[in-house]
Chains A and B, each alone.
Chain A
Amino acid sequence: MSAMKGEAGSRSEDPFASLLAVIVAGLLFIPALIWLGRGESAGELAPPAGMIEVLLRTVLVAGGGALGAWILGGCIGVLLAAYRAPFPLIRDPLLLSPFLLPSVVVTTAVQSWLAGGPLTPLIRGVPGAVLISTLQMAPLVMWIVTRSLRALPEEERLALRSSLSPAAVARQLGRRALPISARAAVLVFLLLVPRLEVPAYTGIETVGRRVLVAFTADGSDLEGWIWCVALLLLAAPLLPLAIRAIPSGRAPQAMGGTDPAAPRSLLATALVLLPAALPLVGLAGLAVDATGDGIAGGAEARRWSIALLRDLLRLAPLSILLSLIGWRIAVGIGDGVRARLLLALLAMPLVLPGCLPALIWIEGALPHLPRGLAETTLPLSTVQGLRFVAVAILLGRIADGSIPSAERAAARLLPPSVARRRIRLPRALPGVLAGAGLIFALLLGEVESAAQIAPPGRLLPAVELHQLLHYRYDVQAARLSLAIALVAGAWLLLLGALGERGGRRP
């Protein structure tokens, strides 16, 4: 038997996962090097004007949104785990709807809902950006928290239910949810830092907007890169927290599962549904507004339906592929210094403005691709996939962490490839599929790179929506966004049901 040095820990490095991570990272960094190699970035190396102020405002908005999402999403997650809300099959997609909708739509919906009333000051500026980010990101925290809490071992759940009152159970679950919800909040912070749409629609300037201006309008590339470095420095200390240390050793439950021993509570249900209802009601109010000009006719509706269907066919397999790649990297990359560096590289597109990977690809990789290939959706899919690969890895880590430690320990006596194929993937499948649903929602609403790199003549729903809102066709925009949410919700529902079926104990 050959000697092999290694750690006895469960996350030892496997070369294929590292190679996969290197390939994925290379898809962005090789074009970036080509772009940088053009030597057009020369300029005066000085901090851009107002840098500290813009950085602080960015931290304030992202931090406030993450904190709000942590509190709101954490509370909803605990309530959902402690009590039974009705209609479990559609409950999760409904609760996730603010996250499934493109952020520009949530912004418009909340603004139209609150405008004119006493809460009008809350729709603009930093408070507006924080409020809207909170409402949009709380469902993500809720989803992660609920998933973790529903995955408690059955014996532990029964012991809690049999010895404590429902309120005491909720308190116990709340304590357990604290670390995982904190890590989810870190992920939210990283997602919020580079955002463009919410700050743009609430009228504040953040680092993301400055990067976009620097690379596309009247700024210089060098200034853009200085802002990027500032963003990375801002996010770098948090990356390991978001990527690592997802707790393990819990029994798996598919996403729609409910603890049958949990009591029903109307009050809890109402509290849970309220944050999801706010943007949806605002949006529905806009969509049925018959006074709106230029109501979409049959031809327009047909055009949107075809565009949505084509995007569904493109993004459904892409989201599953991305989720599987994320899971594969997560289970094999290990915890060493080299692995952390690779993960940090893969997380960079997540913490930089979404337009940047597209710009890098347009100038670095597209000129080297055959024309036939360059004019397909492949470059766009690649760029969008690169943006969210870090999310896929994180969700893959959560899915793998849901395998009980005793099962995982038993699997470690098998050859690693057999253990992955026959034990870890089937057991993590509900989480991998649910993760694919979330990634699908992110991809469907992704507008920054879609606007830059869409193939000629291809109508993309997210870009169309952005244009409708830009030209104030609010009614059509509301209808299109409801259609987008419906498609994302249906796909999430389907994946959730598949995961439920695959993960259900026989």
Chain B
Amino acid sequence: MTEGASAAGLEVERLRVTRGGFRAGPFTFRAERGRVTSITGPNGCGKSTLLGSIAGLLPAVDGGVRFAGEGWSEKERTLVPPHQRSIGLLPQGLGLWPHLSVREQARLVGGGAEAIVEMAEALDLSGLLDRRPASLSGGEAQRAALLRAVAPRPALLLLDEPTGQQFPGTAARVREVIEGIAATGSTVLVVTHRAWPGASPVELFRRGGEPSGGAD
């Protein structure tokens, strides 16, 4: 990768990932700072696996991930552990901690009290901040997990189907919030089945195949 390319924010180069017996990749693409980049592709092509590997939660077997010019992983080596990457993650399974309220979860990841209230209002979660995940509906739980991901204002936001469980009206609000985060300079990577309006697309065509939207 060239020095000039590092300004792009996230750079993924020939990344190959394993998850159980499933091998995904190689993936090569860039995601710019201050923009939403959407990753689309059919079921089983490795979209969620790719996000897990960028976050440092799944081991890569080859290739590399760089962010803001800093190497995060190189081949099988993790250079920066997940908790030092300034990442906000909305995983497919949400991963909400059932013993903590929505507010406590957002505080725990480093969200400021005011930012949490502000973001909760934007996500229509104001009345739910002191509730625990078990008392939330599926859509509310997904927005709570999104709140936890965005509350610390991460430099890189990784979102797996962030509007998948939302009604159209709420989905539009969620999109606004995500685009607002991108506008503040964060790099936002969204895995989605449908195209994200205004986003830079990266399309993964076949199961574990090369992306066509990236610059490989």
A6 and B83 contacting across the interface, CB-CB below 8 Å: no
For residue A37, CB closer than 8 A to chain B, the reply is no
A7 and B78 contacting across the interface, CB-CB below 8 Å: yes
A4 and B79 contacting across the interface, CB-CB below 8 Å: yes
Chain B residues with CB below 8 A from A5, complex form: 77-79
For residue A203, CB closer than 8 A to chain B, the reply is no
Chain B residues with CB below 8 A from A505, complex form: 98, 132, 134
For residue A506, CB closer than 8 A to chain B, the reply is yes
Q: Which of A399-450 contact B (CB under 8 A)?
A: 404-416, 418-419, 422-423, 426-427
Q: Which of A12, A408, A419, A423 has the most CB of B within 10 A?
A: A423
How many A residues face the partner with a CB closer than 8 A?
30
Please measure, in the bound complex, the distance between the C-alpha atom of A4 and the C-alpha atom of B80, giving whole angstroms.
Answer: 6
Shortest CB-to-CB span from A142 to chain B, Å, is 27
A427 and B108 contacting across the interface, CB-CB below 8 Å: no
Chain A residues with CB below 8 A from B81, complex form: 4, 6, 12
Chain A residues with CB below 8 A from B80, complex form: 1, 3-4
Shortest CB-to-CB span from A10 to chain B, Å, is 8
For residue A8, CB closer than 8 A to chain B, the reply is yes
Q: Would you list 8 pairs from A and B whose C-beta atoms are within 8 A, ordered by A residue?
A: A3-B71, A5-B78, A8-B59, A404-B95, A406-B91, A413-B82, A418-B108, A423-B97
Chain B residues with CB below 8 A from A422, complex form: 100, 108
What 9 A-B pairs have minimum CB-CB distances, sorted nearest first? Answer: A406-B93, A410-B95, A406-B95, A8-B59, A505-B134, A506-B132, A407-B95, A412-B82, A3-B79
Chain B residues with CB below 8 A from A408, complex form: 95
For residue A9, CB closer than 8 A to chain B, the reply is yes
Closest to B81 in A: A4
Interface-lining segment among B23-31, B50-58, B166-174: B50-58
A8 and B84 contacting across the interface, CB-CB below 8 Å: no
A427 and B97 contacting across the interface, CB-CB below 8 Å: yes
Closest to A8 in B: B59
Q: Which residues of B contact A (CB under 8 A)?
A: 52-53, 55-60, 70-71, 73, 77-85, 87, 89, 91-100, 108-109, 132, 134-135, 148
Q: A407-B95, A409-B52, A410-B89 are in contact. List 9 more A-B contacts (CB 8 A).
A: A1-B70, A1-B80, A8-B73, A404-B93, A409-B91, A411-B95, A413-B55, A419-B83, A506-B132
Please measure, in the bound complex, the distance between the C-alpha atom of A1 and the C-alpha atom of B91, giving whole angstroms.
Answer: 25
A414 and B94 contacting across the interface, CB-CB below 8 Å: no
B97 and A410 contacting across the interface, CB-CB below 8 Å: yes
Please measure, in the bound complex, the distance between the C-alpha atom of A410 and the C-alpha atom of B52, giving whole angstroms.
Answer: 10
Q: Which of B85, B93, B135 has the most CB of A within 10 A?
A: B93
A407 and B83 contacting across the interface, CB-CB below 8 Å: no
A413 and B79 contacting across the interface, CB-CB below 8 Å: no
Shortest CB-to-CB span from B154 to chain A, Å, is 9
Q: Which of A12-31 contact B (CB under 8 A)?
A: 12
Closest to A423 in B: B97
B108 and A412 contacting across the interface, CB-CB below 8 Å: no
B91 and A410 contacting across the interface, CB-CB below 8 Å: yes
Closest to B100 in A: A422
Closest to B158 in A: A413
Chain B residues with CB below 8 A from A406, complex form: 91-95
Chain A residues with CB below 8 A from B78, complex form: 4-8
Closest to B53 in A: A8
Chain A residues with CB below 8 A from B53, complex form: 8
Please measure, in the bound complex, the distance between the C-alpha atom of A5 and the C-alpha atom of B81, giving whole angstroms.
Answer: 8
Please measure, in the bound complex, the distance between the C-alpha atom of A7 and the C-alpha atom of B83, giving whole angstroms.
Answer: 14
Known contacts A5-B79, A8-B57, A406-B93: A426-B99 contact under CB 8 Å: yes
Shortest CB-to-CB span from A466 to chain B, Å, is 44
Please measure, in the bound complex, the distance between the C-alpha atom of A404 and the C-alpha atom of B70, giving whole angstroms.
Answer: 31
Shortest CB-to-CB span from B57 to chain A, Å, is 5
Please measure, in the bound complex, the distance between the C-alpha atom of A404 and the C-alpha atom of B96, giving whole angstroms.
Answer: 10
Please measure, in the bound complex, the distance between the C-alpha atom of A4 and the C-alpha atom of B78, giving whole angstroms.
Answer: 7
Chain B residues with CB below 8 A from A412, complex form: 56-57, 82-83
Chain B residues with CB below 8 A from A415, complex form: 83
Please measure, in the bound complex, the distance between the C-alpha atom of A419 and the C-alpha atom of B82, giving whole angstroms.
Answer: 12
Please measure, in the bound complex, the distance between the C-alpha atom of A413 and the C-alpha atom of B55, giving whole angstroms.
Answer: 8
A407 and B59 contacting across the interface, CB-CB below 8 Å: no
Please measure, in the bound complex, the distance between the C-alpha atom of A481 and the C-alpha atom of B87, giving whole angstroms.
Answer: 57
Known contacts A412-B82, A506-B132: A9-B52 contact under CB 8 Å: no
Shortest CB-to-CB span from A50 to chain B, Å, is 49
Q: Which of A9, A413, A427 is in CB contact (< 8 Å) with B83? A: A413
